[in-house]
Structure 1
Amino acid sequence: MAYDKAADLLELALEIAARRLGMPYADIDRRSNAPTDSARRRNTQRMVKALEGVFGARLSTNYNDQGEKCVFLEGDKLRALLQLKPEEMTALDRAIETLRTSNAVLEAENLKELRTKIRLLAPMSRRRSLEIDYEALLSASHVVARPGPSPRIEPTTMRPLTEALLAMKQVSFDYKGSNGVHSRTVHPYGVIFGYRAYLVALLHGASGDRPSTWRIDRMANVRVLEQPSNVPPEFHIAAHAKRSFGAFQSETEYGEVEWRFNSKVAESVLSFRFHPDQQMIPETDGSVTVRFSASGHLEMAWALYPWGSHVEVVKPEALRRMVEGFQRNDFPGVP
Structure 2
Amino acid sequence: MSRREKLYHLHDILRQRRTPVSRQVLMDELGCSQATLYRLIAELRDVLGAPLEQDPETRHFFYDRSLAGSFELPGLWISPEELQALLTARQILANVQPGLLQDELVNLQQRMSQLIDQEGIDFSEHPERIHIRHDAGRPVPGRLFEDLLQALFQRRRVTIRYHGRRRDEVSERTVSPQRLTAYRDRWYLDAWCHDAEGLRSFAVERIQALSSADAHAEELDSDALRAHYDGAYGIFSGPAEHRARLRFSPEASRWAADEHWHPDQRLERLDDGAVELTLPFGSSRELVMDVLRYGADVEVLEPDFLREQVAGAARAMIALYGDDRPSAGRRTAKEAKGAAS
Is 1:92 aligned with 2:86? yes
Q: Which letter does structure 2 place at the counterpart of 1:248?
A: F
Q: Partners of 2:255 and 2:146 in 1: how far apart?
A: 40
- 2:164 counterpart of 1:174: no
Q: Could you say which structure has the greater relative contact order, defined with CA pairs below 8 angstroms and 6 or more residues apart?
A: 1
| Aligned pairs for 1:95-244 within 5 A | 95-97=89-91, 104-106=96-98, 112-118=106-112, 133-135=122-124, 137-146=126-135, 148=136, 150-177=137-164, 178=167, 180-195=169-184, 196-204=186-194, 207=197, 210-235=198-223, 237=225, 239-244=227-232
Give yes or no for contact 1:192–1:241 (8 Å, CA) kept in 2: no
Q: Give the secondary structure class of the aligned counterpart of 1:134.
A: coil
1:303 positional shift: 1.0
Matched, 1:297 2:284: yes
Distance 1:180 1:241, change over 3 A: closer
Deviations 1:168-224 (A, max 9, x none): 1111122224474332211111122224422111122654xx411122222133123
Distance 1:245 1:217, change over 3 A: same
**SS across alignment from 2:253:** helix
Find the aligned partners of 1:98 and 1:205 in 2 and give their Cα distance: 32
Asked whether the equivalents of residues 268 and 275 of structure 2 are also in contact (C-alpha less than 8 Å), the reply is yes
Residues 105, 59 of structure 1: alpha-carbon distance in 2 compared, 3 angstrom cutoff: farther
Q: State the shift of 1:142 in Å.
A: 2.1
Return the TM-score normalized by structure 1: 0.60
- SS of residue matched to 1:264: helix
SS of 2:261's equivalent in the other structure is coil
- Structure 2: give runs of 5+ residues left out of the alignment: 8-22, 41-72, 318-341
- The root-mean-square deviation of aligned C-alpha atoms, in Å, is 4.4
Secondary structure at 1:183 match in 2: strand
Deviations 1:43-63 (A, max 9, x none): xxxxxxxx99975982569xx
Q: Counterpart of 2:91 in structure 1: which amino acid?
A: E
**Closer, same or farther: CA 265–226 of 1 in aligned 2, 3 Å:** same
Deviations 1:237-271, CA, capped at 9 Å, x for gaps: 555432343211245x7321211112222222222
Matched AA of 2:191: A
Is residue 2:305 matched to residue 1:318?
yes
Distance 1:279 1:235, change over 3 A: same
Q: Which moved more, 1:319-328 or 1:160-169?
A: 319-328
Once the two structures are superposed, the pairs formed by residues 73-84 of structure 1 within 5 Å of their partners are none
Residue of structure 2 equivalent to 1:34: none
Partner of 2:247: 260
Give CA-to-partner distance per residue, 1:24-79, whole Å, 9 cap, x none. Answer: xxxxxxxxxxxxxxxxxxxxxxxxxxx99975982569xxxxxxxxx999xxxxxx
Shift of 1:115: 3.2
- Unaligned runs of at least 5 residues, structure 1: 1-9, 15-50, 62-70, 74-80, 329-335
Give the letter for the 2:188 counterpart: Y
Residues 294, 130 of structure 1: alpha-carbon distance in 2 compared, 3 angstrom cutoff: same
Q: Structure 2 vs 1, CA of residues 116 and 90 (structure 1 numbering), >3 Å: closer, same or farther?
A: farther
SS at match of 1:246: coil
State the match for 1:58 in structure 2. 33
| Matching residue of 1:287 | 274
Contact 2:253 2:273 in 1 (8 A): yes
- Give the AA of the match of 2:127: L
Mapped partners of 1:52, 1:288: distance in 2: 59
CA distance in structure 2 between the partners assigned to 1:121 and 1:263 by the alignment: 43
- Asked if structure 2 preserves the Cα contact closer than 8 Å seen for 1:258 and 1:291, the reply is yes
Aligned to 2:57: none
Helix, strand or coil: the match of 1:211? strand
- 8 Å CA contact 1:201, 1:211 repeated in 2: yes
CA shift in 2, pair 1:228/1:91, >3 Å: closer
- TM-score normalised by structure 2 residue count: 0.60
Contact 1:90–1:137 (Cα < 8 Å) also in 2? no
On the 8 A contact 1:96/1:112 being kept in 2, the answer is no
Shift of 1:233: 2.8
Partners of 2:241 and 2:281 within 8 A in 1: yes
CA shift, 1:273, in A, is: 1.5
